Copies of this chain bind each other. A is one copy, B any other.
Amino acid sequence: MYEGAVQDLIDELGRLPGVGPKSAQRIAFHLLAADPADVRRLADALVEVKARVQFCTVCGNVSQEELCRVCRDPRRVPSVICVVEEPKDVVAIERTREFRGRYHVLGGAINPIDNVGPDDLRISELMGRLADGTVTEVILATDPNVEGEATSTYLARLLVPMGLRVTRLASGLPVGGDLEYADEVTLGRAFEGRRQISA
């Protein structure tokens, strides 16, 4: 409907996840009216990200070098690996400043509907990292949903027989939440995982 370049941009924007035709149009007109330097910066950021960003050869996290920031850091504890689905989970956990070990990014979760099986995840790479005996604990931090649980169950079956300490992040009530509004499964998990308070 639009002339050449405008329609091309709307089409390209519309291919992005979560951007429908209306949003694509709105973004395109925003960019048409924007400072050319701003648009240039966005275009450059796109080119740069493909040219410079790779995946860490050890943990699979996004990285600008062969090893990611965490794997490069000698202060990180080498005996604990936290297994997550995606690089964004690494960022979420780093934000807590609770974890001083290393990560392993699977690149997804087992999901038969989307045809993602264990062989599509970076599980053999994880096994490779466990071979030399440095790692003593594996924390399974996949998402607390059906796919994440299935992935953790699958991994636990592989890892527990190897004599490793295998842990799963606690499920329960979100801090700052309201008990009344918790769903039954979460509330059930909160009961199941209740802790004794010492006097």
Contact = CB atoms under 8 A, between A and B. Distances in A.
Given A2-B87, A19-B27, 7 more contacts: A2-B62, A15-B38, A15-B42, A18-B26, A29-B87, A36-B50, A43-B44
B29 A88 contact: yes
Q: How many subunits of this chain does the assembly comprise?
A: 2
Nearest to A37: B50
A144 B173 CA distance: 46
A77 interface: no
A17 interface: yes
| Interface size range on A against B | 35 or more
A171 to B, nearest CB: 22
Contacts of A39: 46-47, 49-50
A25 interface: yes
A37 to B, nearest CB: 10
Contacts of A19: 19, 27
Contact of A86 (B29, B38, B45, B94): B29
A170 B53 CA distance: 54
Contact of A27 (B16, B38, B86): B16
Contact of A49 (B5, B51, B52): B5
A8 interface: yes
A15 B30 CA distance: 10
